[in-house]
Amino acid sequence: MVSWYYVLGSERVGPVGIETLKDLFLKEEISLESYVWRKGFQNWERIKDVNELDFSTPHETAKPKAERRTDVKAVDLVEEISSENSPEVTFNFNWNTIRDEEELFFIKVGHDRKAQLETDLFGPYSLVELRDAIDDRRINNHSLIFAAGMPGWVEVGDTPLDPKNLKLNTNNILDEAPLLIVVDNDPMPLIALVQQAGIKKCTLLGAGPFQKGKVVMCSMYSGTALKAKNLKLNIEEYHPREQKVYCRVVEISESAKKIMQNYAD
């Protein structure tokens, strides 16, 4: 039996079976926006994005599918401290095993726009969302893409997202790997990209569940390399629609401080 974990309020609950999840859903204790995880997932997923969790019944009235990243009220906690573990992970990125709904990819724009000198970071997105963005011309083959476990930023046109690309060429690195924050979380760590670095405040991009007011232990990675441990952050705000996490630095080692300062420059 597959074991599932889910987020209820400020708590992560599990393992439970799929029938328990369905029962909770029908009782409206969890919803399409609730986060779940099982072995094999590379990140937490919303129920609405997991095809195997279709809990509709013949007696239910059809409801329109909720839009991605609807506003979810963050759980207000009072400086709750998570476990004192600074997590270590091994990134195993493989284009052939990624599910279409997994929100793993970050996009860097600016490199692909001649009139735009500065770059900006967005994400994480799923393969489905990225294909839609390509069709809508919000990104193009020269936009840069990255996911945890990749050696650095590559062009979209060098990935399987381009149907004309018959040969995978993700070793053509155009920019070094960004700074990642790995957050201690049970049953699996949360991974976020540093959008704005700082030794007092920082802004992250990541799929939830991030809990407002919680103090978490973190580690820093660049690409697949562990750079620093024992970074303690307070999650001051989490905006699910933009998937932005605003943090205050509570504790930071000298090595982590240097990395943050270099990344900010």
Q: What percent of the chain lies above the pLDDT cut of 70?
A: 82
Cβ(32)–Cβ(66) under 8 Å?
A: yes
| Same domain, yes or no: 191 and 148 | no
Chain mean pLDDT for the chain = 82
User: What sign does the dihedral 12-18-23-25 (CA atoms) show?
Assistant: positive
| Domain assignment present for 170 | yes
More confident of the two residues 161 and 248: 248
Average pLDDT over residues 46-75: 54
Cβ(14)–Cβ(2) under 8 Å?
A: no
Q: Could you please report the per-residue DSSP string of 112-169?
A: T-TT--S-EEEEEE-HHHHHHHHHTTSS-TTSEEEEBTBSEEEEGGGSTTSTT--S--
Q: What is the pLDDT of residue 253?
A: 92
| Domain assignment present for 57 | no
Q: Look at the chain and report how many structural domains it folds into.
A: 3
| Domain assignment present for 259 | yes
Q: Of 50-54, 67-71, 74-78, 189-193, where does mean pLDDT reach its minimum?
A: 74-78
| Same domain, yes or no: 142 and 85 | no
| Same domain, yes or no: 215 and 153 | no
Average pLDDT over residues 116-134: 84
212-238: pLDDT as tens digits: 899 999 999 998 899 999 999 999 999
| pLDDT for residue 145 is more than 90 | yes
pLDDT band at 95 (very low <50, low <70, confident <90, very high): confident
C-alpha to C-alpha distance for 29 and 24, rounded to whole angstroms: 5
| Domain assignment present for 10 | yes
Residue 231, CA distances (Å) to 30, 98, 121, 256 in order: 32, 29, 23, 7
Other beta carbons within 10 angstroms of residue 67's beta carbon come to 8
| Domain assignment present for 128 | yes
Q: What are the beta bridge partners of residue 228?
A: 220
| pLDDT for residue 82 is more than 70 | no
| Same domain, yes or no: 99 and 156 | yes
Domain final residue, candidates 153, 176, 199: 176
What angle is formed at CA 32 by the lines to CA 28 and CA 33, rounded to 5 degrees?
105
More confident of the two residues 165 and 190: 190
| Domain assignment present for 72 | no
| Same domain, yes or no: 159 and 184 | no
| Domain assignment present for 70 | no
pLDDT band at 167 (very low <50, low <70, confident <90, very high): low
| Same domain, yes or no: 112 and 142 | yes
| Same domain, yes or no: 182 and 257 | yes
Residue numbers of the domain that contains 160: 95-176
C-alpha to C-alpha distance for 141 and 156, rounded to whole angstroms: 5
Cβ(121)–Cβ(222) under 8 Å?
A: no
6-40: pLDDT as tens digits: 888 767 788 888 889 988 988 888 888 888 888 87
Average pLDDT over residues 137-149: 92
Cβ(183)–Cβ(150) under 8 Å?
A: no
Domain final residue, candidates 176, 196, 218: 176
| Same domain, yes or no: 204 and 250 | yes
| Same domain, yes or no: 86 and 208 | yes
| Same domain, yes or no: 187 and 171 | no
C-alpha to C-alpha distance for 237 and 257, rounded to whole angstroms: 22
| Same domain, yes or no: 163 and 191 | no
